[in-house]
Amino acid sequence: MSQKITGIFNILATPFTPDYQLDVTSLRQLVNFQLNMGAYGLTILGVLGEAAKMSVDERKLVVETVIETVAGRVPVVVGTSHEDTATCVALSKAAFAAGAAGVMIAPPRMEKPTDERVIGLYSEIATHIDQPIVVQDFPPVNGVIMSADMLATLAEKIPNARYLKLEDPPLMEKIGAIRARTDKFEIFGGLGGMFLLEELGRGASGTMTGFAFTEILVAIYQAFNEGRRDEAERIFDHYLPLIRYENQPVINLTIRKELLYRRGAMAHPTLRQPFVPIDAGTHEEIGWILKRVGIADPTQKVQL
């Protein structure tokens, strides 16, 4: 039975030991932590999950571990992007065989990424898999610009490409442009949740982001969908300093793993190379930000 892909999906970090090996114990711990925080689903092996720093076998181990730990409680979307189309297809098939609800795929870097080439890529993949595809639109990673017109055409041509992970600013304007052209996409925002409230106002179905305090985003989403707009705005505005600080360019993943470590969600905040470390001042500022928004004990679920 297919699982509904909607709401707040946590893009799961990948825990590593201090010697840069996969930390399977922490991975299971992190899965249960995010589900306890109310995540509607998990997206694994995205950019935040450091998938590009892992071997194919390691990626398969992450998929198997997460899906086994989730045990059907929520849908799991697996990032299967790869520069080689055959490998992308193989990873996608393996993900669905393991029990994934969908796969998230971004185009690889291309010499001349025309609309026809990008649509052709997804069409080729769709000849091999007929399960849900989440189209990832994130130009900073691959340099591929997907226009609203092209995305609408893609949605019309590929029946199982029904989900869009959108991180191409200005987000709200692009959501509006896509919505004006097609109703076939469920659209998810990202960018650390910085524009969640506005994205929902433009018709987004939720967000996929790695923000370390999933329960805050869940509370905003639920209040908004239940028509309690004032409450959604209150929660969003109150925690926006934390959302903003965590999503700093260059060091956002480093901060995010540090926060997850402080929350007790993983044993170590280790990242694989290459990554940018944070300095002593940033460590102090993290504590300052938490205090400013009223989070005295980050290991506990935030009381909203």
Task: Reply yes or no on whether 184 is catalytic.
Answer: no
Q: Which of 245, 143, 135 is nearest to 192 (CA)?
A: 245
Residues 176-194: tens digit of each pLDDT? 999 999 999 999 999 999 9
- Could you tell me the domains of the chain? 7-292 (3.20.20.70)
Q: Please say if the pLDDT value at position 1 is more than 60.
A: no
- Start-end of H helices in the chain: 24-36, 56-70, 85-98, 115-126, 139-142, 148-157, 171-181, 196-201, 214-225, 229-246, 252-262, 280-292
| Angle (CA) 150 201 236, round 5° | 125
Q: What is the DSSP letter of 186?
A: E
Residues 6+ apart with CB under 8 A from 222: none
pLDDT at 2: 61
Joined tokens for residue 40: 């509607």
CB 122 within 8 A of CB 154: yes
Judged by DSSP in three states, 53 sits in: helix
Q: Which of 217, 212, 303 is nearest to 261 (CA)?
A: 212
pLDDT at 124: 97
Residues 242-265: tens digit of each pLDDT? 999 999 999 999 999 999 999 999
Q: Please say if the pLDDT value at position 153 is more than 80.
A: yes
When pLDDT is averaged across residues 277-295 and rounded to a whole number, the result is: 98
CB 13 within 8 A of CB 210: yes
Please report, as a single letter, which amino acid is at residue 4: K
The catalytically annotated residue of 165, 174, 291, 301 is: 165
